[in-house]
Amino acid sequence: MKKPTDYSPEEQVQIQAAFDDLMHSNYQKIDKKGEALIKKAFEVARDAHDGQRRKSGEPYIFHPLAVAKIVAHDIGLGAISIASALLHDTVEDTELTHEDIYKEFGEKISRIVRGLTKIKRLKHDKNVSLQAENFRKMILTLNEDVRVILIKIADRLHNMQTMASMPRHKQEKIASETLYIYAPLAHKLGLYNIKSELENLGLKYTEPEIYREIENKIEESKEEQERYIKTFSSIIKDSLKKERLNFKIIGRFKSVYSIYRKMRDKKVSFEEVYDKFAIRIIYKADRKNEKFLAWKIYTTVTDHFKPNPSRLRDWISYPKSTGYEALHITVVGPEKKWVEVQIRSERMNEIAEKGYAAHYKYKHGSSEEVGIEGWLNKLKDLLENQDENAVDFIEEFKLNLYAKEIFVLTPNGDIISLPKNSTPLDFAYAIHTEVGSHCRGAVVNGKLVQLNYKLRSGDVVKIITSPNQKPKPNWLNYVVTGRAKSKIKASLKLEQKEIIEEGKEILQRKLKQLKIKYNDNTINSLVSFFKLKTSQDLFYNVGAGIIDNKMLKNFANARSNVLFDFFKKKLRRKPIDFQITKDEVTYNYDTIVFGPDEQQLDYTLANCCNPIPGDDIFGFTTINEGIKVHKKSCTNALSLYSNYAYRIMTARWIDSSKHDFIVYLKVSGFNRIGMAKDITRMITDDEQLDMKNINLNSQGGIFEGEISLYIKNTEHLKQVINDLKNIEGIENVNRIEKI
């Protein structure tokens, strides 16, 4: 292998220093054989990437070195994974082949590098979401080696950390994909530190102004929060020491993204987010006494501070599926503030920080990479339905990534972990596919319940089966787990295939009786006559008895009249009935321009987010409705950017002074006589303002309401919000997406 020629002497020193840093960053203990493997992979990657540079101008080899360090230190993998991370771009970007990797490094590393290369080489079909297919391909690599996914997450993290030199539109696309896919996946894999950083970086590039605003406010309140954490800790330290506990107390600020999500979901301001930080108590304990000491600490804390019983989370008795263990309580701390307290042993804390690597280190008593396949088996359930639409596949997969867990029991006392809102059908399929497919009913806590009953933690579930029962289409509305949906769809598809084959044979016989030739023209005419979409729909309808003999005779009679048939084809489509309300009417104003050339195109404003002049916006090309304009902060933005990036158009407002747009405001505060009158007067006094609707409700001296207004632009909106806040008794005024 040739020596580097493009690296300057200074760069060679920096590259060697980065490699030395990698070798000292290992979470697992690497033996001499492993060290030799990593060194060999580094030398091969360094020479292979010689002459290649990143957009920032630095040698490309720094990227695989950084990815390998994340794999080694943050994820905690061993020598094979570290070597694979160093080599992950060699086959794609250099002259090296898979055969070279196999020859030099053997089967395992070759398989991992091949899996990573497969993801990158996926071709882009303009009719399919590249990112959804990319993700699907990544999940399919579970059949090869799950370390592929873990290295891919590390690769994405480093790309996010070094995105500053990229164009704005690429930053938005990559960040949207990260928030849509990689952050939830890191969460599910127990990589909480990486998940948090991915979320923060994702927000930084999708909503830079919001990110900076929250970051600045956190910085401004940092001194006050640190003082509060110190006060809280000092109250319980002495009591914990009296119990002869070996512990440390850490105050942790919630991430920028976590605070942003609370502000967005609860529609509150930064100041109204009450739990912006958490207290973590980490204690030393052997495995035998871990649980006992956790509850001892819980008792000590609650002796001083009143707990909120509804916020108790016992993940020690029932660990999360990721292996996460802790006791979470929320208490009323000093100054009557709510504080989340997390109680973890050192072992639990290590698992929370490192995810699966620490989990299996403790479980198996060794540092070897064992057990990952078994731990991630649940992810493989979705792979059985591989021909499903890629976007549907990813949406279903995502349903369970952030899902909260419940724990239900079998009649024998076995504990089954399921996502929140799961039903007896989800439970049945979790037991076994055959149990799910033949499920006729369920008994929960001794009472017969419907199949769509929402299970709760602690429920004892018994499934009633029948050999004659089989999955029905409406079952898909009853389940939330990917496993159940995948199994139901597979069963329905098999049944549908059988009906289609039977329908095809029946149709051939019936047409022969009607003396009509069975050919492509006839099939197309039948599809058109019965207003169907495909020939498969036709065969299914015949096989299922939806299209009967009488209907086929009607077709034969109509077919005999060529002129009638001609006009029937022309007039068959039913006119589209547009139900238009005042809110939905849009006009072709020349207020928005699209693309780099700033073209003026026809568009409509998306009802899901109601953009108005001044909002950051983008255009989305729909299949049937032309260009829809969305706010960049729209709840659907991440999904659109990730799954249909090729349909996104840059857009901006250029002139809106003559037109009004509807906005929705949520107001709340302390009620008093004349409050509604003062709000109405303030609105009517503004000559540029037109009120559409106002609805106020009062209870116990507190009022809450919603107001819809026609507004000129965002500057006008800011003024209106300020005017409303100045009214006596009004505490909060927030813009919401839609009433």
Q: How confident is the model over 160-190, as pLDDT tens digits?
A: 999 988 888 888 888 888 888 788 888 877 7
Q: What's domain 9-205's superfamily in CATH?
A: Hypothetical protein af1432 (1.10.3210.10)
- pLDDT for 145: 64
Say which of 93, 215, 275, 704 is annotated catalytic: 93
pLDDT at residue 702 is higher than 60:
yes
**CATH for 405-480 (3.10.20.30, 3.40.50.300, 3.40.50.150, 1.10.340.70):** 3.10.20.30
Is there a catalytic annotation at residue 243? no
- pLDDT for 398: 52
Which whole-number Å values give the CA distances from 661 to 55, 72, 352, 656, 702, in the listed order? 42, 53, 47, 9, 30
- pLDDT for 294: 94
C-alpha torsion sign, points 196, 197, 198, 200: positive
Is there a catalytic annotation at residue 92? yes
Rounded Cα–Cα distance for residues 5 and 274 (Å): 57
Estimate to the nearest angstrom the gap between the alpha carbon of 507 and the chain centroid: 45
Residues in the chain: 739
> 627-631 and 604-605: which strand pairing?
parallel
- pLDDT for 245: 92
What mean pLDDT value characterizes the chain? 80
Neighbours of 85 (CB within 10 A): 34
- pLDDT for 561: 59
pLDDT at residue 65 is higher than 90:
yes
pLDDT, tens only, 219-244: 888 888 888 888 999 999 989 998 89
pLDDT, tens only, 587-615: 334 568 887 666 778 888 888 888 888 78
The stretch 693-721 carries a mean pLDDT of 83
pLDDT, tens only, 644-673: 777 888 888 876 555 567 788 999 888 888
pLDDT at residue 715 is higher than 60:
yes
- pLDDT for 375: 44
- Does residue 634 sit in helix, strand or coil? coil
Say which of 47, 92, 537, 565 is annotated catalytic: 92
- pLDDT for 3: 56
C-alpha torsion sign, points 158, 163, 165, 171: positive
Q: What percent of the chain is modeled with pLDDT above 90?
A: 22
- pLDDT for 613: 82
Closest CA to 351 of 364, 361, 341: 361
- Does residue 462 sit in helix, strand or coil? strand
pLDDT at residue 56 is higher than 90:
no
Report, in this order, helix, strand and coil percent for the chain, each rounded to 5: 50, 15, 30
- pLDDT for 213: 92
- Does residue 394 sit in helix, strand or coil? helix
> 648-653 and 338-345: which strand pairing?
unpaired
The stretch 607-627 carries a mean pLDDT of 85
- CB 666, CB 614: distance < 8 Å: no
Rounded Cα–Cα distance for residues 67 and 156 (Å): 9
Measure the CA angle with vertex 557, ends 551 and 558; round to 5°: 90
The stretch 290-299 carries a mean pLDDT of 94
Q: What percent of the chain is modeled with pLDDT above 70?
A: 83
- Does residue 84 sit in helix, strand or coil? helix
Rounded Cα–Cα distance for residues 651 and 620 (Å): 10
pLDDT, tens only, 123-172: 444 434 455 555 665 565 555 566 788 888 999 999 999 998 888 888 88
The stretch 516-532 carries a mean pLDDT of 84
According to CATH, what is the number of the domain 661-736? Answer: 3.30.70.260
> 702-711 and 661-670: which strand pairing?
antiparallel
Confirm or reject CATH 3.30.460.10 for domain 209-364, answering yes or no.
yes
- Sorted by where each begins, the domain ranges of the chain are 9-205, 209-364, 405-480, 496-571, 582-653, 661-736
Among 204-213, 345-354, 584-593, whose mean pLDDT is lowest?
Answer: 584-593
The stretch 254-271 carries a mean pLDDT of 87
- pLDDT for 402: 52
pLDDT at residue 459 is higher than 90:
no
Sheet containing 327-332: order of strands: 247-253, 277-283, 338-345, 327-332, 313-314
